[in-house]
A and B are shown apart, each in its own frame.
Chain A
């Protein structure tokens, strides 16, 4: 099992460009999450999904969109990149939403917006 995979590993964008960060998990988890981590800060939840077709906003959703058409995939879309979106993005998945359900993280995508 690959677990949670993310592509790309690194990306540099110009202001106003758009891109999609890909996230795939092969553990048949219903719950998936997108976090961002700014330098020297903790992880902050951007969006989450509790199953195919169901998504909801987290703590910092502005400037992002998500979709969940399959159990495996949870892409994150940046429509108009801004320097404030320079961050490391982590995707995670879990089998449930409770405290006993461990979150499994992807390796992260480092995004720079210039």
Chain B
């Protein structure tokens, strides 16, 4: 079965604390994974993709095929990081499977 699981609906952390948003996937092929973010009153936008191995706004995500995970991490959370975060799996040329999302709240 093709599936993306984000186990936490809500994650609250204090400013300056480390953040880890969890994402696990189920896919028989070679996975391509993404993190999308939706800030308040803004549209969904791409944050990062695993094939680029990039760090965006201080966030990184490493694909762990053994654990079938693609967790999003940031060492020091900022208030402006508060948003909804969606993990997505590309399971075909046009087919993307999205997780249910995690709301991150960074407390002052």
Within 8 A of A (CB), among B13-57: 32, 34, 43-46, 49, 51-52
Contact B93 A98 (CB under 8 A): yes
Number of chain A residues whose Cβ lies closer than 8 Å to a Cβ of chain B:
27
B32 interface neighbour in A45, A48, A99, Cβ under 8 Å? A99
Which residues from B are CB-within-8-Å of A44? 98
A42-B44 in contact (CB<8A): no
Q: How far is the CA of A50 from the CA of B96 in the complex (A)?
A: 15
Decide if A97 touches B94 in the complex (CB within 8 Å): yes
Q: Which residue of A lies closest to B86 (CB)?
A: A42
Distance in angstroms between the alpha carbons of A56 and B93 in the assembled complex: 12
Q: Provide the B81-107 mask, 1 if CB < 8 A to any CB of A, else 0.
A: 000001010100111111111000000
Q: A31-B94, A48-B94, A99-B32 are in contact. Are A41 and B100 (CB under 8 A)?
A: yes
Q: Which residues of A contact B100 (CB under 8 A)?
A: 40-42
Bound together, the chains give a CA A43 to CA B46 distance in angstroms of: 14
Q: How many residues of B contact A (CB 8 A)?
A: 23
Does B61 belong to the interface (CB within 8 Å)?
no
Instruction: Please give, as numbers and ranges, the residues of chain B lying within 8 Å of A105 by CB-CB distance.
Output: 43-45
Write out the residue numbers on chain B whose beta carbons fall within 8 Å of the beta carbon of A107: 43
Q: A48 contacts which chain B residues (CB < 8 A)?
A: 94
Contact A103 B46 (CB under 8 A): yes
Chain A interface (Cβ < 8 Å from any Cβ of B): 4, 31, 33, 35, 40-45, 48, 50, 56, 58-59, 90, 97-100, 102-108
- List 4 additional A-B contacts (Cβ < 8 Å) besides A43-B96, A97-B94: A31-B94, A48-B94, A98-B93, A105-B45
Q: List 15 A-B contacts (CB under 8 A).
A: A40-B9, A42-B86, A43-B96, A43-B98, A44-B98, A45-B94, A58-B95, A97-B93, A99-B34, A99-B49, A100-B51, A102-B46, A103-B96, A105-B45, A106-B43
